[in-house]
Structure 1
Amino acid sequence: MNKTARYLSALVFLLSLSLTAQDQAVIDQIVKEANENSQLERLGQELMDGIGPRLVGSPQMKQAHDWAVDTYASWGIPARNEAYGTWRGWERGITHIDMIHPRVQSLKGTQLAWSPSTSKKGVTAEVILLPMVKDSAEFAQWLPNVKGKLVMVSKLETTGRPDYNWEEFATEESFEKMKAEREKADEAWGQNMRNTGYTSRSIHEPLEKAGAVGIVSSYWSKGFGVSKIFSARTKEIPVVDLEMEDYSLVYRLAARGETPKLTIVAQSEELGEVPTFNTIAEIKGSEKPDEYVILSAHFDSWDGGTGATDNGTGTLVMMEAMRILKKVYPNPKRTILVGHWGSEEQGLNGSRAFVEDHPEIVENVQALFNQDNGTGRVVRISGQGFLHAYDYLGRWLHAVPEDITRHIETTFPGTPGRGGSDYASFVAAGAPAFGLSSLSWSYWNYTWHTNRDTYDKIIFDDVRNNAILTAILTYMASEDPERTSRERIVLPVSKRTGEQLEWPEMKGPTRKGGF
């Protein structure tokens, strides 16, 4: 090697060291800002405590969108609410459920989303149980009995203790006996429902038509005091969910012929057809402004709690990552864009609308990072079926502090997500989009779509780690001199059908929903 060649080689080596030092300096600043000036607790209180649940079509959803735009503006980040459709507008009011016979007791529960309202006085009526029937004809003959009654439409649970409690304290024989009794009771309930000719979802309509004055249900989430809260399916009569303990109390009284009576006040307001939005904020790229790194989290929630872990924490991660990046990396090479998607809970509608409306952005996505499954630290990342995902994700993850990455298991190349959260909308369009999957913290039983999904369940140390992870991955993706590969794996043959699996198809959003 001659003198000139040696000089050039040394110069390249020194430049590479300089770039590495530059990257490390930015990464160190990201970590320092996240740990010493975190805004997570304040943002969490403003969003979850102050605004509350964010049901699509509710005034609180619009309030949250406006709050996000204003918050980004205070950080010097341009943001906008981008309308993509409309939804049935509805706002919940006060719910009171009281048993007034055979004794007086206030019960714990709430009206379901989009439930028709009662008057201020509410409705007072006797409770009636679904009968055991041999076929749909016998059920049709029974139906007139519901006139003027409140109808209980959920099964009686065998036990109010979660399985983990039985495993800790019961004898093996007792636990096995309970499970056998539960399985038998569940099978009998399911068969009886089929005998009626309806499902648990469709039976509300005939009950309402037959003159029932309200529906009482209970969707136990297999944890102490936890109910899953979804939507009503009636047109004029209220639907309330009782927590399992109180539902079981009323059910047992009715089964013993004690003719329990309830007074239900479930006020709500119909607001007609209202617009739905995504909130979009961006830090413009300085060198490649038409290439994008996207931070992704759905903004809406169900409204049994305040949507803290589904998906308030994902929202906080993306907002905090954007705040940090604007402060320590204000001139990114590529445009950094954040999407706070609407109506994810009803079918990824916000993100699907964005993909459909912005093909020019989707075509130029360098990477998308999505977080949406609870408050825990990220522990799993899949390559989503992109053949060379390891090449770039591996590089980017290498820059993340080891105290964060040591918890993370990666699967490369993985398989493409077909639903579940908003990254799937982008994967279907062929964009390299990745879910940052987190540790459970009893998510499925205790906070996913439940009445217990509230601020006090947030683990801020884990959320802070996730914000650091997201900010560093975003920085590395923005700085990467190479475009990410979109080459896909050849999907395997389905064990179920024996046919070659295909890449998930793009699906359009519901742009007018809830009616």
Structure 2
Amino acid sequence: MKKLYILFGFAIGLIALQGQAQNSQEVIDAIVKEANDNSQLERLAHEMLDVIGPRLVGTPQMKQAHDWAVGTFQSWGVDAKNERWGEWRGWERGITHIDMLEPRVQSLQGMQLAWNPSTGSKGVKAEVVVMPNKILDSMGFQKWLPTVKGKLVMVSMKQPTGRPDYNWEEFATEESFEKMKSDRDEQTKQWRQNIRNTGYNSRTIIAALEEAGAAGIISCNWSRGFGVNKIFSARTKAIPTVDVELEDYTMLYRLAEYGNKPVVKIVAESKELGRVPTFNTIAELKGTEKPDEYIVLSAHFDSWDGATGATDNGTGSLVMMEAMRLLKKFYPNPKRTIIVGLWGSEEQGLNGSRSFVEDHPEVVDGLQALFNQDNGTGRVVRISGGGFLNSYDYISRWLYPVPQDIKTHIETDFPGLPGGGGSDYASFLAKGAPAFNLSALNWSYWNYTWHTNRDTYDKIVFDDVRSNAILTAILAYMASEDPEKSSREKIVLPINPRTGEQRTWPTPRSPQRDGMKD
């Protein structure tokens, strides 16, 4: 009789496990079907990127994006709020016109940099000059410096070619390609030494030129691709700084070098808005059984504003929003609490996520897993265990039910090494919490869309983004349902081959909460 009771209990348990597995598969199948048949990604991308646009910290567009995200989550029945973590310099971009007036008339392709001082509608008109190409020492530079008064000064090297290396590699002879690279390397070395000889570096020299009376600064931060430049922030206090695309920049440079005395007019309008609050958008599905344990879906919401921030990190934000929509629809009562964190001011140093880590130790302490996506529009192709000894056990369990057409592209690295701070998962990882980056195929990300003037909606590969949303939703579901708590046991880190010293676990860093100090 005792054996019968044991067998009966075992049978009941087996039936329960089978039923649980069946229910899990039904949820996963429903998530996959909804994501493929009724994706909201295109509509969300249009509203975020085309209507709101770039999301530079401190701008009205950033706050508009936060409010839009909260409203969108709430329309799905998901609790959401904007959580203030600091203040920043408020600024709003206006129009930019850059026109060459002499020796002929031509409108130039370029834009003002972020937080650029406004020229007003009248603009600034002046002759363009280049830096001397043979500065021997700081005394010689100081003698030349007064000549910039009333001039627009070009502060970037004249690139020897506007063709990316892959174009040379395809069409040039091997000898020609190698010669070009050698000449460019030597020119770059000489340019950098020339700047060092001034007594300044490429950043501090801007203040010296402004103090000497320059009318404005013209730069070219070429990103080694056709028509693509990286757009960051201005370092001037009262005069305009514009970035001009390589094709026009090198033309201006040659005109100035040959003595043709080009004259350019810059109209770069903007508004200073004083101190403005900064936020993270936090959406939440409260856990029913283990509400004090958390799954966090992580992406930074802010961008630079050379374009609309489509792949850095509009796509990551879209993945997390769509994953939460899917979870709310088919898993509305999760066992553990599921949070979406759309972080502010990642671009200035992970400030939003670092603030959340400081302000919410209970989430860090109760973290079951964080999944972060940040490097472009491509499908996820790599997941690392982040230096957690037993990460293989639980991540493999969570990956198991992911559809094969998604999973087949993913390489795993267990136990891996902890990330050093390139994206928001590192804010949690530094606290020893299990935070994992979903690394994506780059689609020429580093040259063509990362922080550039070409990071726009048309660069999104929606098939890949849709796969990432499915992957993220299933990982979150499986991590929530897992009866076991994820282990935080760390590996003994190996020797760094560059230094010969043992690697150390990343340490937490405090955020910059006051952007007016920049």
Report the TM-score range of the alignment, normalised by the length of the smaller protein: over 0.9
Aligned residues: 515
- 1:96 counterpart = 2:97: yes
Match of 2:486 in 1: 484
State the AA in 2 paired with 1:237.
Answer: I
State the Cα distance separating 1:430 from its structure 2 match.
1.1
Match of 1:81 in 2: 82
Identity %: 70
Match of 2:35 in 1: 34
Structure 2 Cα separation of the partners of residues 276 and 9 of structure 1: 55
Match of 1:374 in 2: 376
Deviations 1:195-244 (A, max 9, x none): 11111111100000000010000000000000000000011000000001
Match of 1:57 in 2: 58
What is the DSSP-based 3-state SS (H/G/I as helix, E as strand, rest coil) of the residue aligned with 1:416?
Answer: coil
Match of 2:311 in 1: 309
Match of 1:347 in 2: 349
Match of 2:441 in 1: 439
Closer, same or farther: CA 348–499 of 1 in aligned 2, 3 Å: same
Does structure 1 conserve the Cα–Cα contact (< 8 Å) formed by 2:84 and 2:279? yes
Alignment of 1:90-129 (within 5 A): 90-129=91-130
Give 2:209's match in structure 1, choosing from 207, 210, 217.
207
Give 2:175's match in structure 1, choosing from 161, 173, 176.
173
Give 2:406's match in structure 1, choosing from 404, 427, 451.
404
Deviations 1:302-352 (A, max 9, x none): 000000000000000000000110001111001110100000000000000
- 1:68 counterpart = 2:66: no
Structure 1 Cα separation of the partners of residues 55 and 430 of structure 2: 26
Alignment of 1:61-460 (within 5 A): 61-131=62-132, 132-460=134-462
State the AA in 1 paired with 2:456.
Answer: T
Structure 1 Cα separation of the partners of residues 332 and 9 of structure 2: 32
Structure 2 Cα separation of the partners of residues 13 and 76 of structure 1: 35
Match of 1:22 in 2: 23
State the AA in 1 paired with 2:118.
Answer: S
Structure 2 Cα separation of the partners of residues 20 and 71 of structure 1: 32
For structure 1, the residue ranges without an aligned partner over 5 or more in a row are: none
Structure 2 Cα separation of the partners of residues 241 and 507 of structure 1: 32
State the AA in 2 paired with 1:263.
Answer: K
State the AA in 1 paired with 2:18.
Answer: L
What is the DSSP-based 3-state SS (H/G/I as helix, E as strand, rest coil) of the residue aligned with 1:222?
Answer: strand
Structure 2 Cα separation of the partners of residues 112 and 265 of structure 1: 13
What is the DSSP-based 3-state SS (H/G/I as helix, E as strand, rest coil) of the residue aligned with 1:203?
Answer: helix
Does structure 1 conserve the Cα–Cα contact (< 8 Å) formed by 2:87 and 2:516? no
Deviations 1:416-446 (A, max 9, x none): 1111100000000111000000001000000
Match of 2:496 in 1: 494
Structure 2 Cα separation of the partners of residues 352 and 200 of structure 1: 29
Does structure 1 conserve the Cα–Cα contact (< 8 Å) formed by 2:311 and 2:449? yes
Structure 2 Cα separation of the partners of residues 447 and 346 of structure 1: 18
Structure 1 Cα separation of the partners of residues 83 and 56 of structure 2: 17
State the Cα distance separating 1:7 from its structure 2 match.
2.5
State the Cα distance separating 1:514 from its structure 2 match.
4.2
Structure 2 Cα separation of the partners of residues 240 and 51 of structure 1: 23
Structure 2 Cα separation of the partners of residues 201 and 414 of structure 1: 36
Structure 1 Cα separation of the partners of residues 258 and 325 of structure 2: 60
What is the DSSP-based 3-state SS (H/G/I as helix, E as strand, rest coil) of the residue aligned with 1:2?
Answer: helix
What is the DSSP-based 3-state SS (H/G/I as helix, E as strand, rest coil) of the residue aligned with 2:87?
Answer: strand
State the Cα distance separating 1:287 from its structure 2 match.
0.8
State the Cα distance separating 1:17 from its structure 2 match.
1.6
What is the DSSP-based 3-state SS (H/G/I as helix, E as strand, rest coil) of the residue aligned with 2:92?
Answer: strand
What is the DSSP-based 3-state SS (H/G/I as helix, E as strand, rest coil) of the residue aligned with 2:419?
Answer: coil
State the Cα distance separating 1:14 from its structure 2 match.
2.3
Does structure 1 conserve the Cα–Cα contact (< 8 Å) formed by 2:375 and 2:445? yes
Match of 2:47 in 1: 46
What is the DSSP-based 3-state SS (H/G/I as helix, E as strand, rest coil) of the residue aligned with 1:467?
Answer: helix
Deviations 1:365-408 (A, max 9, x none): 10000000000000011111111111100000011011101000
State the Cα distance separating 1:13 from its structure 2 match.
2.3
Identify which range, 114-123 or 13-22, moves more after superposition: 13-22
What is the DSSP-based 3-state SS (H/G/I as helix, E as strand, rest coil) of the residue aligned with 1:436?
Answer: strand
State the Cα distance separating 1:18 from its structure 2 match.
1.5
RMSD: 0.9
Structure 2 Cα separation of the partners of residues 380 and 497 of structure 1: 26
State the Cα distance separating 1:499 from its structure 2 match.
2.6
Query: What is the TM-score of this pair, normalised by structure 1?
Result: 0.99
Structure 1 Cα separation of the partners of residues 383 and 495 of structure 2: 23
What is the DSSP-based 3-state SS (H/G/I as helix, E as strand, rest coil) of the residue aligned with 2:223?
Answer: coil
Query: What is the TM-score of this pair, normalised by structure 2?
Result: 0.98
Does structure 1 conserve the Cα–Cα contact (< 8 Å) formed by 2:210 and 2:236? yes
Structure 1 Cα separation of the partners of residues 294 and 190 of structure 2: 54
Deviations 1:3-33 (A, max 9, x none): 3323223332222221111111000000011
Structure 2 Cα separation of the partners of residues 122 and 340 of structure 1: 37
Match of 1:464 in 2: 466
State the AA in 2 paired with 1:467.
Answer: A
What is the DSSP-based 3-state SS (H/G/I as helix, E as strand, rest coil) of the residue aligned with 2:378?
Answer: coil
For structure 2, the residue ranges without an aligned partner over 5 or more in a row are: none
Structure 1 Cα separation of the partners of residues 178 and 338 of structure 2: 54
Structure 2 Cα separation of the partners of residues 10 and 287 of structure 1: 25
Structure 2 Cα separation of the partners of residues 169 and 499 of structure 1: 44
Structure 2 Cα separation of the partners of residues 500 and 428 of structure 1: 17
Structure 1 Cα separation of the partners of residues 195 and 501 of structure 2: 35
State the Cα distance separating 1:2 from its structure 2 match.
2.9
What is the DSSP-based 3-state SS (H/G/I as helix, E as strand, rest coil) of the residue aligned with 2:231?
Answer: coil
Deviations 1:269-290 (A, max 9, x none): 1110110000001011111111
Does structure 1 conserve the Cα–Cα contact (< 8 Å) formed by 2:275 and 2:516? no
Structure 2 Cα separation of the partners of residues 492 and 179 of structure 1: 36
Structure 2 Cα separation of the partners of residues 512 and 107 of structure 1: 36
